[in-house]
Structure formats: C-alpha cells, structure tokens
Homo-oligomer: A and B are copies of this chain.
C-alpha cells in the first residue's frame, strides 16, 4: 500500500474505459482484473483487499493485491485510509469526501463544496492542502455515540 500515480491520469469514466486503459498501457485484460474493476465500478462501496478477494472466489489473494496495485498505478482505482488499520479501495475519480464512523464502519459522503472552505482555512493556517479523498474524515455516528455514552463499549 505504497503506490503513487506516476502522473495524475484522469480517472476512466466507466469500467470499459478502465479496461481500455489497461490495454493501452500494455496490460492484459484478464478475469481477475475484470472482476476487480466490475466490483469497484459496480457500486461505490469501498472494499478492503480482503473483501475484494472474498468477492472473487478462485482468484488468488496475491493476484488481487497485484491487480489493485496495477489499477492504482493506472489511475483506475486508489486506496483510502478509512478508520483503523486496513485501507479500502475505491474506483478513482470520485469527488465526494467519505466520512466514516469508526464505531460501526458506516460511511457517509460529503460534497466537495462542503469542504472547500475548510480546505482553504487549513491551507491558510498550515500551508497544507488537504487530501480528504485519500485520508478521509472519521468520527462517530449518532448511534455509536449513544451506545458508548450508555454501555461503555460500542466497539
């Protein structure tokens, strides 16, 4: 989980364009890649490498990792550090900012417009331009806050 796009390639608009890009870069379109791309371009659900592997029975885990790595290099997918530990993968090109609940794992989306003012503020204060797509926001949803206020552990 340490790849940066060689040059910021525009995200392919759909799965077919993604396959096209693979070919145009000398790659082969294989069932594994097709599977990963279909998964990531199907619904926008971010998935861990493990989840991607689980959704593609018959495809070896190592191949899933290699596919995800290649898709990142090609600007087709990218990973996001949602909450504790494991990164999740999404199709590239999303402009929405994910917000995760660290309690239950639910994610909401913020509009880019909503965060623009804040990005400006942070840039002004610190000189750092936030990358909220790659390093998203995390917190606790209402249900999880209520749970930990009462019982204690809402893990």
Contacts and interface: CB of A to CB of B under 8 A. Distances in A.
A105 B145 CA distance: 31
Interface string A121-148: 1100111111110110111111001001
21 contacts: A2-B85, A4-B148, A4-B153, A81-B83, A83-B135, A99-B122, A99-B130, A101-B128, A108-B127, A110-B125, A114-B121, A117-B118, A122-B137, A122-B139, A127-B141, A128-B137, A128-B139, A129-B145, A131-B139, A134-B138, A135-B137
A75 B110 CA distance: 31
A6 interface: yes
A70 interface: no
Given A1-B84, A81-B84, A128 B108 contact: yes
A131 B138 contact: yes
